[in-house]
């Protein structure tokens, strides 16, 4: 009996934790499982197998992943861990979490349908043995594309007559993975060790997937990777090389049915003037800049193995706003890094005050297994880190609210995402889930996925209250 026949009528649910990159991986896995004969189910309680796509980025994400695995085991279904935490810890996770029937790594993905049949039928599947995935591909970026046939890269399943991906929701927004892995060596980050070296996807493959997503009701593409500014550095120069993203964005924006393309995960030190111009001025591309500043003190940035300063970051922001004064700009910062002084915190406060960003994620430093920073001297007490996080978070809340208030009177295009009790969507400067939303006034007859031209009339924190300019409100029924 073939594996497809063995999986016939068997149901599988996928639960996804972590970032949008994991969401793409889950939809690729869903496509593989459907092609392998499994029935996808959004009801874990009635599934034969529950696949949990874990996150292993920080301690809280790991805890959430473990809690989800334990809850899945309580359903009585077979439980399989995949994703970053499974890839990072493999057999160690399996030994410490017997509730999981298997812990599978990225190399299991091409044959996941067959492995789930084995698990469903009670046959043991050996858990993943972790390795540093940076060692699996050539050091030289231009040599990597030829080697990817021998290495599994999640979200790079190939393309052709059929996109190997199944949507797991009906949102009008979908992440599109343009690359995987990272060549940077930030001292606090373990991601490259389990995600591997940087590998771009072919631009034609991305356009084909964008076209398919448009047929699935997607209206906004959210381009994701570990480092989008590196896109193309491993591609042939005929495809654009390090300028490949500038060439790709207009192609994606021209896809029929796609209203907006958004880029995420930009490294400030690699954000070129031409890329700024293309993002800020290309019709259909959101003038939105997700810039990974992490800090503003030069001394802290050097210990992080990063580049930049308050002045260089402010210059980049000035360049962006010279093209698009209302551009959305967000970042994340790490507070309490080993050796951080009160002067360093003051420098971060100065930068945030002058930068006037739309949204800032504030994170307290914590050691991550296997990172360089784990070995650093100058670790701060937990109560000091907590106090500094609270102080920066309070400043960010005030500044981002002021930035939102400054948008009152401006005109924004709102992509409608919910029409339940109220109409809710997002403007170009608001990325999914992290940057606030727009609440649309009026009793309108509109649908999810519509783009409404609106005037901003009020704000609440980072959220905006908007009034449609080109859509009259529905008049209430009046008894005659």
- Residues tagged in the binding site annotation: 19, 55, 84, 182, 186, 189
Q: In this structure, what DSSP letter does residue 457 have?
A: E
Going through 149-213 in order, the beta strands assigned E by DSSP cover: 173-177, 179-180, 199-200
Burial class of residue 128 in the structure, from the number of CB atoms within 10 Å of its CB (0-12 exposed, 13-18 middle, 19+ buried): buried
Distance CA 187, CA 180 (A): 19
Here the tokens at position 381 are 């007490």
Find out whether 320 and 372 touch, Cβ atoms under 8 Å: no
Q: In this structure, what DSSP letter does residue 407 have?
A: T
Q: Are β-strands 438-440 and 423-426 bridged in parallel, bridged antiparallel, or unpaired? A: antiparallel
CA distances from 22 to 45, 148, 234, 402, 429 (A): 22, 19, 22, 33, 23
Distance CA 379, CA 338 (A): 4
Find out whether 46 and 82 touch, Cβ atoms under 8 Å: no
Phi, psi of 461 (to 5 degrees): 65, -130
Distance CA 71, CA 79 (A): 10
Binding site per annotation, positions for [4Fe-4S] cluster: 19, 55, 84, 182, 186, 189
Distance CA 415, CA 453 (A): 9
Q: In this structure, what DSSP letter does residue 150 have?
A: G
Distance CA 476, CA 469 (A): 19
Distance CA 128, CA 88 (A): 9
Distance CA 300, CA 194 (A): 25
* Helix H or strand E segment including 459: strand 451-460
Give per-residue burial for 424-453: e unless 16+ CB within 10 Å, then b: bbbbbbbbbeebbbbbbbeebebebbbbbe
> Which residues partner with 54 through β-bridges?
83
The edge-to-edge listing of strands for the beta sheet with 328-335 is 288-290, 328-335, 359-364
- Three-state secondary structure along 223-285? EECCCHHHCCCCCCHHHCHHHHHHHHHHHHHCCCCCCEEEECCECHHHCCHHHHHHHHHCCCE
């Amino acid at each position: 009996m073939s594996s497809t026949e063995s999986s016939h009528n068997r149901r599988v649910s996928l639960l996804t934790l972590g970032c949008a990159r994991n969401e793409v991986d889950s939809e690729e896995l869903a496509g593989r499982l459907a092609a392998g004969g499994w029935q996808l189910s959004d009801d874990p309680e009635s599934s034969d197998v529950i696949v949990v796509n874990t996150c292993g980025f920080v301690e809280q994400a790991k805890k959430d992943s473990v809690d989800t695995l334990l809850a899945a085991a309580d359903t009585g279904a077979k439980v399989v861990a995949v994703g970053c935490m499974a890839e990072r810890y493999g057999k160690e996770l399996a030994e410490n979490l017997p509730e999981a029937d298997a812990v599978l790594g990225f190399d299991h993905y091409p044959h996941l349908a067959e492995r789930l049949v084995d698990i469903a039928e009670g046959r043991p599947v050996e858990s993943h043995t972790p390795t540093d995935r940076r060692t699996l591909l050539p050091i030289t970026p231009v040599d990597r594309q030829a080697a990817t046939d021998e290495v599994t890269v999640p979200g790079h399943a190939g393309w052709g007559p059929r996109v190997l991906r199944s949507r797991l929701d009906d949102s009008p927004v979908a992440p599109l993975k343009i690359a995987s892995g990272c060549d940077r060596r930030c001292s606090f980050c373990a991601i490259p060790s389990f995600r591997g070296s940087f590998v771009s996807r072919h631009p034609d493959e991305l356009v084909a997937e964008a076209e398919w997503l448009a047929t699935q009701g997607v209206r906004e593409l959210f381009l994701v990777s570990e480092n989008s500014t590196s896109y193309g550095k491993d591609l042939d120069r005929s495809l654009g090389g390090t300028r490949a993203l500038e060439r790709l964005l207009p192609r994606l924006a021209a896809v029929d049915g796609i209203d907006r393309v958004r880029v995420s995960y930009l490294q400030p030190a690699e954000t070129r003037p031409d890329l700024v111009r293309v993002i800020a001025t290309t019709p259909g591309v959101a003038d939105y800049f997700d810039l990974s500043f992490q800090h503003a003190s030069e001394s802290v940035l050097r210990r992080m193995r990063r580049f930049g300063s308050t002045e260089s970051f402010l210059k980049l922001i000035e360049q962006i706003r010279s093209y698009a004064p209302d551009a959305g700009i967000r970042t994340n910062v790490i507070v309490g890094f080993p050796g951080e002084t009160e002067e360093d915190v003051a420098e971060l406060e100065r930068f945030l005050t002058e930068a006037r960003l739309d949204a800032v994620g504030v994170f307290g430093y914590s050691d991550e297994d296997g990172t360089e920073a784990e070995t650093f001297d100058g670790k701060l007490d937990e109560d000091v880190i907590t106090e500094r996080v609270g102080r920066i978070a309070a400043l960010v809340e005030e500044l981002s609210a002021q930035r939102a208030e400054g948008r009152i009177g401006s005109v924004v295009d709102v992509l409608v995402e919910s029409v339940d009790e109220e109409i809710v969507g997002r403007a170009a400067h608001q990325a999914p889930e992290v940057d606030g939303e727009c609440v649309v006034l009026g009793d309108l007859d509109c649908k999810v996925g519509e783009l409404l031209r609106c005037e901003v009339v009020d704000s609440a924190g980072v959220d905006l209250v908007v009034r449609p300019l080109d859509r009259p409100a529905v008049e209430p029924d009046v008894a005659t």
